[in-house]
Structure 1
Amino acid sequence: MTTTLITGANKGLGLETARRLIEAGHTVYAGMRDTSKGAAAAALGAKVVQLDVTDEASVAAALAGLPAVDVLINNAGIIGSHAGADEFGADDLAEVFDTNVYSIVRMTKAALPLLRESSNPVIVNVASGLGFPRFVTDPNRVESTISGLGYMTSKAAVIMLTLQYSKMLPGIRVNTIDPGYTATDLNGHNGHQTVTEGTDAVVALATIGADGPTGTFSDRDGVIAY
């Protein structure tokens, strides 16, 4: 049976990913900072794990309690400051990078020994079209209408970080996805997609075989050309 660890799995995309992968036969560990908010994940059959991705000790403790990891899904993320250029500072950027980017490094480093025990190790990093330059500069796409210094920059970093991991970890399938504009707490439920539609890409990449792709950026319609 495939063992999957999902960060930020108490609600939204993380929770729906847990539901769909459990339905697909995975044993899912649902990581979350506050386990008192884990009732929904537990009700699905997920194993709730205390996991603060911004805390090295919490990450180490969470991974130490797992028997194995076949799939790591780095889903945890925050919007961060909405401040304009005159107010936005380095501390604002550091805050959003800590959760959205540095956490991927923390999680990947800690999980590598367990992933290497798997016959089909997979990492999926959740990015966004808001961090993809071609989308952000295309006037026909919604991403071009949204501005911000923190979240967008962090998601651009996630895309590049994933590419580099895919080169440095040839034995592991490492991909990143764009969920699309999905209705979640992150955007005040303004997205036009359901959470099920928003998890199509992450579920597809979490269930690939050993001959599956690596180093790709995909949405629910498939691979996006860089």
Structure 2
Amino acid sequence: MSGKRQALVTGANKGIGLAIARGLAQAGMSVWMGARDRTRGEAAVKTLLDEGLDVRFLEIDVADESSVHRAADTVALEAGALHVLVNNAGIIIDPKLPPSEARMEDIKATFEVNLYGPIRVTQMFLPLLKAAGGARIVMMGSGVGSLALITDPTSIYSSVNFMDYTTSKVALSAVTVAFAKELEPLGIKVNVVEPGNVQTDLNDNVGALTPDEGAVTAIRMSLIGDDGPTGGFFGSHGRQPW
């Protein structure tokens, strides 16, 4: 890797994660593209390398503590600091099931990736974020992670009732605030973003926005200056209601 500022995007082999990695690299950063599947991850890296961007693959399964530990050791050895962390990796297992029929194993698996994953990755990479000075952490939330939006009948998100996914994203907002409070004195800013209704594998590619459009807010919040916010929830139109 070069001597440029370092970024890590989890779940970067496709969709919004790939678009965020591209955008951060285009902004002049060296980007670690995190993915649990080496074949898919390396294929995504090649795509961006062919575009002349400074990226490399990092094998990381956010649901596996040993995997996250190895990934942090790799970045520590080769870069020594991490300026931007985007916790993007996420899953939806079975959106067709109503809450009353949600399987407990699916709920646990969803929380393991969508909630415990960002906690695990943030904690493990924190020494590198502290070493960077003024680092930025972005959590990939969702409109369904807003209690205000899912209870507003005028919002598109009020028609969604994915209990496991929704509750994992609501909880992620609280996690974001907790980290933001702790890390603010260190100059580390932590925010959660919602990409909008994006075409991804999670929704069978039926969203209204492209992954590039959905990545805009995450990229913007990754690059905010020292006068930027922390502990907030942001979308394409600015601060969003919790």
Query: What band does the TM-score fall into relative to the shorter chain?
Result: over 0.9
Are 1:56 and 2:65 counterparts?
yes
Deviations 1:71-97 (A, max 9, x none): 110000001233223321332211100
**Structure 1 counterpart of 2:89, one-letter code:** A
1:79 aligned onto 2:79: no
Which of 215, 221, 224 lines up with 2:237 in the alignment?
Answer: 221
Higher helix share: 2
What is the aligned length? 226
Rounded Cα–Cα distance in structure 2 between residues aligned with 1:25 and 1:151: 33
Q: SS of the counterpart of 2:229?
A: coil
In structure 2, the partner of 1:15 is 18
Of 141, 146, 149, 1:135 maps to: 149
| Deviation beyond 6 Å, 4+ runs, structure 1 | none
Asked if the contact 2:145/2:170 (under 8 Å) is kept, the reply is: yes
CA positional deviation for 1:161? 0.7
Instruction: Give me the whole-angstrom Cα distance separating, in 1, the residues matched to 2:179 and 2:126.
Output: 11
Q: Quick check: 1:186 aligned with 2:193?
A: no
Q: Alignment partner for residue 211 of structure 2, among 195, 214, 217?
A: 195
Aligned to 2:52: none
Quick check: 1:3 aligned with 2:14?
no
* Aligned pairs (5 A) from 1:161-172: 161-170=175-184, 171=186, 172=188
Deviation (angstroms), 1:155:
0.5
Structure 1 unaligned runs (5+)?
none
- Cα deviation for residue 166 of structure 1 reads 0.6
Amino acid at match of 2:63: T
Q: SS of 1:214's equivalent?
A: coil
Cα contact 2:177–2:231 (8 A) shared by 1: yes
Tell whether the 8 Å contact from 1:197 to 1:220 is kept in structure 2 after alignment: no
The question of 1:97 aligning with 2:111 is answered yes
- Report the CA distance between 1:142 and its aligned residue: 0.8
Conserved? CA contact 1:80–1:92, under 8 Å: yes
Give the Å deviation of 1:18. 0.6
The structural deviation recorded for 1:119 is 2.1
Q: CA deviation at 1:196?
A: 1.4
Structure 2 residues not aligned, in runs of 5+ = 50-54
> Would you say 1:37 and 2:50 are equivalent positions?
no
1:42 Cα deviation from its structure 2 partner:
2.9
Cα distance in 2 for residues equivalent to 1:73 and 1:209: 16
